Structure 1
């Protein structure tokens, strides 16, 4: 019956509230007189009836005026309780005045007694309903434990109490000063009690509210929680909450950067301003994962003009729209120029750089997905090698001051065309650095970035949400990982350190075993890994085998003698370079073979060049294999080519 009343419409609930008060107020009036006379008072005097009627009607009018019937009982606040006290106090005055003016035989102390009874009847009835509704809500809400009893945790609990989804049952905090205390009706426990709390309350989700904790501290907490196989989620960054970009109750999944535990190092803004502030800056591949983040960070240093050069119309529109909004919100004095184009068109690159007077170029445009480049060998080489060459030549002709290439760890002893093409691009810039002194060229090499297109992290998360299986190429495969913002920040700073032809390597931290990463993500989403030892687990991990051109581990250095720089996470590699005459010869050979669409010769040239290229698979180009042009004579003709020292 009561549950049905909870679900009726709001106008109906208001009618019931009025009817309840129409009963409670006369009852309190009668009760006050009866208590004062110490007997059940029989109302037989018309003057008393008039006084009670006036008081009841006037009180209802006062309650309406004070907005008491607009208050939602389930969210009854302190303000509503103050309204009830105010309304009842006015009602007591009306009762006293009406009895005095009518000269009704009502004891003078009855209004004081009535005031207390009316508070109990009017306020108490609402409190009972509120507690009943909240009890019903608690039964329907998912029970959660909040890790962190600081300001963030208290704000989160308050938001969840008012919401419809989660019911906090306890706090957990490592701060001994808070342990054992009760905050907002919830007890604060030490972390060692977490497993017992999970069993006691049947909790399946833990919410991290560690607003001011460093990533290293968060990583340590997650390592201690992981064996419990409870779903762990976190609240938005407090800076986003304060700025209004997010609400504290907007729960989100744990990000891998929390697992890595790498705290960002503050950038040297003076170095960045030297090549960005007040300059004309161009980013190629501006709509990609790294390119778009470079643009976001570049505008913070207020270049005069930022040119967004992008082949994808959709990606260009998206990043241009986003940056325009940021500039408007922060009142930045930056002009944004969205330009559609391909880095394979050398004349267009030169016209753009010359027309706008570009001073700094960040070359992020590249085909970077290893299997896709294996399936499209010629286009991968055209875009990664010749696209870089054309952009570099255009920069020299347009008298660009600084040119920074975004390279990859796959360029080190490559086993795939993508890595070989990026190492060839590095040799192109090293050769051009020796050949001229107009433009300062440098390269920045790093590994996988979290959240980029094709990253395993969003793939794993999606597979886990779809109940698996989680696909891993090999049980022993390992990779370096870095967040996109951190990678972009380090790229910008490394670009300021180059003297000409420098190869910079970013400190990627410890390598991560992909299979262990998958298991960790499964457990932190509250599930168990299904295996031979645990056949009743939730998610199975399936090993699919290495993809074309993929290797078990990546390296960042070819040589073993990196030099430190003024930044603790940026090293300078000592890599072999070639004079421009030899680089130009390799480029000429590649150009002819790409024009003839001869994938065999293209790969043979890359193998013969001093790139350390050792492919671990047959040619996998989809069009080439469809044509089936392979002949023994062609292979023999190419294997004798030695372009390293011609």
Structure 2
């Protein structure tokens, strides 16, 4: 039957059916106008006339060039135009040949013809859809999944519509839940809203639900976590979600975007509202360079900057593999963007100067840095060379070659540092603050905490440990960290760059700190295991230089609000009196001597809030860098 309908859709069949309908509608118009006496007024000569007009107009209107299996509003408008034009020409024919034609006949015939032509196509499509769904459903009937959707809003409606339209997905929506009392008890596409989120456990059991879909893109992380925990009480129930609003490009949700709940969803916050006019004014049409452009933060900065149409994007990194992969991605996504990969080390002053002299960027985002606390404790010289001297080289050349804005990526570990990495990043902040005092370039730093999913961060490590069967290692039960997603961090860095006038240390709103042990439990649960039963959590003790709590500001700092509600300015004292050249010379001498303990002590002299303990000094004396 389905094959017969598909054959009817072909041009000869549709043309014959339309011409038959055309004559039937004309005869019916006379019948409706004159009832029993209609044959006294209907002329047989009308049949060849209306048929010839129909043949001409049906072909000129390209009515048969359309795919009527996928007909929508555009096709309906085409049918209406065709019906109107045919009746106008038929009326003109009768006028010129002085044939009596009641005025109501063209009007009746137009309405009947539109309903006839449109109704034929709609009936065929509905019958075709029904038979196709019936065929697909019968084939997949044995493996269908019962689904419960949380959220009876736009996202929920789109998912139900897509599932009904595509039975090959083999999912049956058995119920909806929504916390809005006005929606409860009502139906959406025939599916009843059977309660709020507190009814999830009961409904999962009643309907033998196998999959729960969270269809609330705007839900904060606390809500996602609560729904996940309620649904996860029943073993074997999969929980999926639509992306958060910050991940959706056009606000639309499709079934293809459904994915497993990730840890980022449990920490989901309101999306960043960018002041795009301010950002465009300093990025659009200008050369922008991102150092460390192949890294987690640097690569996302490149993606975000590319959205603002710079004249050229320079991706500078020492690692060619990550740079190459990013280059391919950017060229695919932004084919009109001029992207230039630059393989270079910020510690190599001569190579770096050649890059600045040749390309002369207007804006620099300095993300190149060593960031791993334990590794830098063992290799303090490398932390100083990359994080301090590398920043000094880049900042000095930015000043020399007339860069307009220089934005350094800093860290919350620079506040009251207890480790080499944090102290080196605080020293880098001091470098750019001092440079701002004597340069036309506007230097600024942006300070934030941990970034979810970045290379070497805690989340990928936990995932590897879970995949290996555990245990998941946590250094202390009370250790807490601030977290944000990579896109969120990059967007706020770019926004801060538009606000800086020079010398500022911006602080990003990181929300509330998260206990690492809670994060470990969440990841174990998200992986389908029970913490403490299937996967153990092992407490290993704090590592050298590691804090229990990170801080975004020191005790002597306070913050000022900015025009963006998620960005603050630290009231740090300026470093205009810093003897920068002397400081750099002392660090270079320490590096030349390969005296790790002396280098750490020199760093402590520069960053007064960093005081390495005696145990650390003893460890350093045993190391040769």
Aligned to 2:193: 188
Say whether residues 1:490 and 2:492 are aligned partners: yes
- Give the 3 Å change call, closer, same or farther, for CA 270–345 of structure 1 in structure 2: same
Using the alignment, how far apart are the partners of 2:321 and 2:212 within structure 1?
Answer: 38
Shift of 1:293: 1.0
Structure-2 residue corresponding to 1:588: 585
Change (3 A) 1:180 1:389: same
Deviation at 1:385, TM superposition (A): 0.4
Pairing 1:607–2:615 present: no
Q: Is the 1:281–1:358 Cα contact (8 Å) retained in structure 2?
A: yes
Asked if the contact 1:226/1:524 (under 8 Å) is kept, the reply is no
Provide closer, same or farther for how the CA distance between residues 190 and 467 of structure 1 changes in structure 2, counting only shifts above 3 A: farther
Structure 1 runs not aligned, ≥5 long: 1-76, 80-122, 531-536, 630-646
- Structure 1 residue 515, shift from structure 2 partner: 1.3
Q: Which position in structure 2 is the counterpart of 1:136? A: 142
Question: What's 1:456 paired with?
Answer: 458
Match status 1:173 vs 2:173: no
CA distance in 2 between partners of 1:608 and 1:242 (Å): 49
Task: Give the aligned partner of residue 535 of structure 2.
Answer: 539
- TM-score w.r.t. the length of structure 1 is 0.69
Q: Deviations over 1:538-577 (max 9, x none)?
A: 3322222222221111111123321111111111112244
Root mean square deviation of aligned Cα: 3.4
Q: So what's the TM-score if we normalise by structure 2?
A: 0.71
Aligned-pair CA distance for 1:226? 2.1
Give the SS at the match of 1:308: strand
Q: 1:78 to 1:503 in 2, by over 3 A?
A: closer
Corresponding residue number in structure 1 for 2:443: 441
Separation in structure 1 between the aligned mates of residue 466 and residue 200 of structure 2, nearest angstrom: 24
Is the 8 Å Cα contact of residues 215 and 258 (structure 1) preserved in structure 2?
Answer: no
Give secondary structure in 2 for the equivalent of 1:496: helix
Deviations 1:78-128 (A, max 9, x none): 99xxxxxxxxxxxxxxxxxxxxxxxxxxxxxxxxxxxxxxxxxxx999999
Of 262, 274, 291, 2:281 maps to 274
Flag the 1:229–1:542 CA change in 2: closer, same or farther, 3 A.
farther
Measure, in 2, the Cα distance between the counterparts of 1:165 and 1:376.
55
Q: Deviations over 1:272-320 (max 9, x none)?
A: 1232111111110111111111111111111111111111001111111
What pairs up with 1:477-516 in 2 under 5 angstroms? 477-516=479-518
Structure showing greater relative contact order (alpha-carbon pairs closer than 8 Å, 6 or more residues apart): 1
The secondary structure found in structure 1 opposite 2:536 is: strand
Q: Name the CA distance, whole Å, in 2 between partners of 1:207 and 1:271.
A: 38
After superposition, the Cα gap between the structure-2 partners of 1:255 and 1:603, relative to the gap in structure 1 and judged at 3 Å, is same
Residues 617 and 223 of structure 1: is their aligned pair in 2 closer, same or farther, counting only changes over 3 Å?
farther
Distance 1:470 1:548 in 2: 19
User: The residue matched to 1:495 in structure 2 has which SS?
Assistant: helix
Q: Is 1:414 the counterpart of 2:410 in the alignment?
A: no
Q: Does residue 326 in structure 1 map to residue 370 in structure 2?
A: no
Deviations 1:459-508 (A, max 9, x none): 33444455433222211011111111121111112122223221111111
Instruction: State how far apart, in whole Å, the 2-side matches of 1:157 and 1:465 are.
Output: 33
Q: Could you tell me which residue of structure 2 aligns to residue 223 of structure 1?
A: 226
Q: Which moved more, 1:274-283 or 1:520-529?
A: 520-529
Deviations 1:134-185 (A, max 9, x none): 44223xx4x4422123443344346557346755433222243443345566
Q: Is the 8 A contact 2:377 2:544 kept in 1?
A: yes
Three-state SS of the structure 2 residue aligned to 1:491 is: helix
Aligned 8 A contact 2:364 2:406 in 1: yes
Question: Following the alignment from structure 1 to structure 2, what is the Cα–Cα distance between the partners of residues 617 and 623?
Answer: 10
Q: Does 1:399 align with 2:406?
A: no
Decide whether the 8 Å contact of 2:558 with 2:571 is kept in 1: yes
Q: Which whole-Å CA distance do the structure 2 matches of 1:133 and 1:578 have between them?
A: 73
Structure 1 Cα separation of the partners of residues 525 and 535 of structure 2: 10
1:403 and 1:239, CA in 2 relative to 1: closer, same or farther beyond 3 A? closer
Separation (CA, whole Å) in 1 of partners of 2:292 and 2:322: 9
- CA shift, 1:590, in A, is 1.1
State whether residues 155 and 253 of structure 2, in contact with CA within 8 Å, keep that contact through their aligned partners in structure 1.
no
Query: 1:374 offset after TM fit, Å?
Result: 1.6
Cα deviation, residue 582, structure 1: 2.8
Q: Distance in 2 between matches of 1:617 and 1:466?
A: 38
What secondary structure is seen at the aligned counterpart in 1 of 2:274?
coil
Q: Aligned equivalents of 2:613 and 2:147: distance in 1?
A: 49
User: Is 1:401–1:439's contact at 8 Å kept on the other side of the alignment?
Assistant: yes
